[in-house]
């Protein structure tokens, strides 16, 4: 399936100018959002996980999930060779079956973007780059913007930024907001994913507020985590973020996406999240334009399960290509 970049902010959010005029106003708005009861939210997330998805539904879900993967490598030890190899896999996940769709994107550090661009020339796979002093986000704004600029000029079509969690937890919401706005501007035509780092925000109330803040600031996607700490993506975090994009769409008419990164390892996990997308946000979000899995090992398990469905027998690692 083809991928189009998500909608940009435009002038449609002028109605929010009051809310973002100063930190006190922004805080009032964010703290005025309905609270999230943790036990209730966990129970709902768990209940959605009991949906039984078999046969044709499972087949659809596996292919959908594959097409929503951002195949990721974010290690200090990454090299051009590693990235090139991963890009080939991104385009042809299963060498034995051309019917398997390519993934949505690859996700790399800014200095490897150029390698990815060259490897993916002519394919539909997008090139996402982390930026803004990923993963900690602890650097001056100017440094972060240089980081973004280099990724963009190397050819990244998607930018995955991190928010300043320190500022957020200290209540300096407007600082976090302004930073996102600046990064969005520096991203040019690349679409922007805003990483909340749910494991550091800890509570569902904080995740709800951070989600709204990021959407108001113009993020095209909100993303759970850097994948460098746990917990990262969990069903309750996903639930709250999907509710946020649903409610944001209801209020503004604008569709924004959700990316789950870190901790989504098995097909079972992925299918559970697709059920959640379906029943919480709605079926409009069941597209790579609006929903992604940031993962590396997940693709292997999706292919294993796909093989089981097509061949009827349980599969083994020998039949799955490595990066």
CB nearer to other proteins: give 38 or 79. Answer: 38
Site for other proteins in 277-296 (CB under 8 A): 278-279, 283, 286
Q: 70, 205, 223, 315: which one is catalytic?
A: 223
Answer yes or no: are the C-beta atoms of 186 and 152 closer than 8 Å.
yes
Applying CB under 8 A, the site for other proteins has a residue count of 33
CB nearer to other proteins: give 58 or 84. Answer: 58
CB nearer to other proteins: give 130 or 244. Answer: 244
Minimum Å gap between C-beta 207 and other proteins is 11
Rounded Cα gap, residues 86 and 93, in angstroms = 9
Minimum Å gap between C-beta 302 and other proteins is 16
Nearest to 221 by CA among 8, 3, 2: 8
Q: 160, 205, 220, 315: which one is catalytic?
A: 160
CB nearer to other proteins: give 82 or 284. Answer: 284
Burial letters for 75-107: b for 16+ Cβ neighbours within 10 Å, e otherwise? eeebeeebbbbbbebbbebbeeeeebbbbbbbb
Does residue 311 touch other proteins according to CB under 8 A?
no
Q: 144, 184, 193, 259: which one is catalytic?
A: 259
CA angle, residues 293, 219, 290, in degrees to nearest 5: 40
Question: 259 an active-site residue?
Answer: yes
- The structure tokens listed for 126 are 């997008």
- Of these, 1, 21, 31, 38, which contacts other proteins (CB under 8 A)? 38
Does residue 275 touch other proteins according to CB under 8 A?
yes
Site for other proteins in 162-221 (CB under 8 A): 202-204
Nearest to 59 by CA among 202, 322, 271, 221: 271
Question: 144 an active-site residue?
Answer: no
Nearest to 213 by CA among 149, 167, 259: 167
Rounded Cα gap, residues 75 and 322, in angstroms = 17
Maximum Cα–Cα distance across the chain: 60
Residues within the interface to other proteins (CB under 8 A): 34-44, 50-58, 60-61, 64, 202-204, 243, 274-275, 278-279, 283, 286
Catalytic residues: 160, 223, 259
């Amino acid at each position: 399936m083809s991928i189009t970049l998500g909608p940009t902010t435009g002038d449609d959010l002028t109605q929010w100018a009051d809310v973002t005029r100063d930190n006190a106003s922004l805080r009032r708005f964010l703290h005025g959002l309905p609270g999230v009861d943790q036990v209730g939210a966990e129970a709902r997330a768990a209940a959605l996980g009991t949906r039984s998805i078999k046969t044709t539904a499972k087949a659809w879900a596996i292919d959908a999930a594959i097409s929503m993967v951002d195949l990721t490598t974010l290690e200090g030890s990454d090299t051009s060779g590693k990235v090139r190899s991963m890009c080939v896999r991104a385009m042809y996940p299963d060498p034995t079956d051309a019917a398997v769709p390519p993934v949505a994107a690859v996700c790399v550090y800014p200095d490897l973007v150029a390698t990815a661009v060259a490897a993916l020339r002519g394919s539909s796979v997008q090139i996402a780059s982390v930026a803004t002093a990923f993963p900690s986000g602890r650097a001056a704004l100017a440094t972060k913007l240089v980081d973004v600029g280099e990724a963009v000029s190397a050819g990244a079509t998607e930018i995955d930024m991190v928010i300043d969690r320190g500022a957020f937890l200290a209540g300096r919401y407007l600082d976090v907001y302004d930073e996102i706005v600046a990064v969005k501007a520096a991203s040019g035509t690349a679409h922007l994913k805003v990483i909340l780092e749910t494991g550091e925000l800890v509570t569902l109330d904080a995740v709800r507020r951070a989600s709204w803040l990021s959407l108001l600031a113009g993020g095209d996607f909100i993303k759970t985590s850097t994948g460098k700490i746990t917990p990262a993506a969990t069903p309750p975090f996903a639930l709250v973020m999907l509710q946020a994009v649903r409610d944001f769409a209801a209020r503004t008419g604008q569709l924004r996406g959700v990316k789950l990164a870190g901790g989504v390892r098995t097909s079972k996990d992925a299918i559970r999240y697709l059920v959640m997308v379906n029943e919480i946000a709605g079926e409009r979000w069941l597209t790579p334009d609006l929903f992604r899995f940031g993962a590396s090992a997940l693709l292997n398990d999706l292919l294993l399960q796909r093989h089981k469905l097509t061949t009827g027998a349980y599969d083994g690692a020998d039949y799955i290509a490595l990066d």
